[in-house]
């Protein structure tokens, strides 16, 4: 089985999208005879020549990218728009998407996921599945045990796909958890994000002592 992949992250090889792809690919290649071709970043704007060639020659294509505040990167949007000229030119293509976001709830990916599914149909390809995962910004700050659990599931998903040629629905569901946060979840998540993310950034920029400043207070 031959799988082609486009990494649409502006961070390329250094981003979280690449980290998740590496574990998916590792699992996929466990099956003898499987092969992978990867474009690690989108650079050829506005022509997108390498990406278009990959699209036209692929049997199975996975396009992976992050969301930034519920929106796809501008380069990915431009790439998708450029694919309009390829409509109907690879009708046998099985087209998949992997969407990851920093917000802990996978629900944030669903609006773009629906768009991707429509895009596959409009290009007259076969929609072959959506991999959606929230909480990925935390991969850089979460304890190793939690991060390893996410990576293991991407490995298992890739392995199952390499064996069956289809994404495993049960693994997809486990990856997508939590779809929404409960009030109790929020009580746990917000202090953790404040402590490990925002406080860290403020310390790096020497403004932690201004955490509770009110520059636009009632005295204006």
Distance of CA 141 to CAs 52, 129, 191, Å? 36, 29, 13
Instruction: Give the model's pLDDT for residue 196.
Output: 66
* Residue 186 pLDDT level (bands cut at 50, 70, 90): low
Q: Indicate where the chain has its CATH 3.40.50.360 domain(s).
A: 2-180
Query: What is the torsional sign of CA 46, 47, 50, 55?
Result: positive
Among 6, 43, 27, 12, smallest CA distance to 157 is for 27
Instruction: Give the model's pLDDT for residue 200.
Output: 79
Distance of CA 172 to CAs 9, 20, 158, 168, Å? 21, 13, 11, 6
Q: What's the whole-model pTM score?
A: 0.86
- Angle subtended at Cα 196 by Cα 207 and Cα 141, rounded to the nearest 5 degrees: 130
Pairing between strand 2-7 and 35-39?
A: parallel
| Candidate from 28-37, 54-63, 194-203 with smallest mean pLDDT | 194-203
Indicate if the pLDDT at residue 220 is higher than 60. no
Indicate if the pLDDT at residue 107 is higher than 60. yes
pLDDT digits (tens, 9 = 90+) for 160-177: 999 999 999 999 999 999
Topology at the third CATH level for domain 2-180: Rossmann fold (3.40.50)
Indicate if the pLDDT at residue 185 is higher than 70. no
- Of the ranges 132-136, 166-170, 198-202, the best mean pLDDT one: 166-170
Instruction: Give the model's pLDDT for residue 153.
Output: 97
Strands (E), 104-196: 126-133
Strands (E), the chain: 2-7, 35-39, 60-67, 94-101, 126-133
Mean residue pLDDT of the chain comes to: 91
């Amino acid at each position: 089985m031959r799988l082609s992949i486009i990494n649409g992250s502006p961070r390329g090889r250094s981003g979280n999208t690449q980290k998740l792809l590496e574990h998916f690919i590792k699992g996929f290649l466990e099956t003898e005879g499987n092969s992978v071709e990867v474009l690690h970043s989108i650079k050829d704007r506005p022509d997108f020549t390498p990406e278009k060639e990959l699209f036209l020659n692929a049997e199975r294509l996975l396009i992976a990218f992050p969301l930034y505040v519920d929106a796809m990167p501008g380069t990915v949007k431009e790439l998708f728009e450029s694919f309009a000229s390829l409509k109907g030119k690879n009708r046998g293509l099985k087209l998949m998407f992997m969407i990851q976001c920093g917000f802990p709830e996978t629900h944030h990916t669903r609006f773009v996921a629906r768009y991707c599914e429509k895009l596959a149909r409009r290009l007259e390809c076969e929609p072959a599945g959506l991999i959606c995962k929230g909480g990925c910004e935390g991969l850089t700050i979460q304890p190793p045990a939690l991060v390893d659990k996410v990576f293991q599931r991407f490995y298992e998903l890739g392995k199952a796909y390499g064996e069956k040629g289809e994404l495993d629905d049960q693994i997809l569901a486990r990856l997508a958890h939590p779809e929404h946060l409960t009030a109790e979840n929020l009580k746990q998540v917000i202090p953790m994000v404040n402590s490990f993310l925002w406080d860290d950034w403020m310390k790096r920029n020497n403004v932690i002592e201004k955490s509770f400043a009110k520059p636009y207070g009632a005295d204006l």
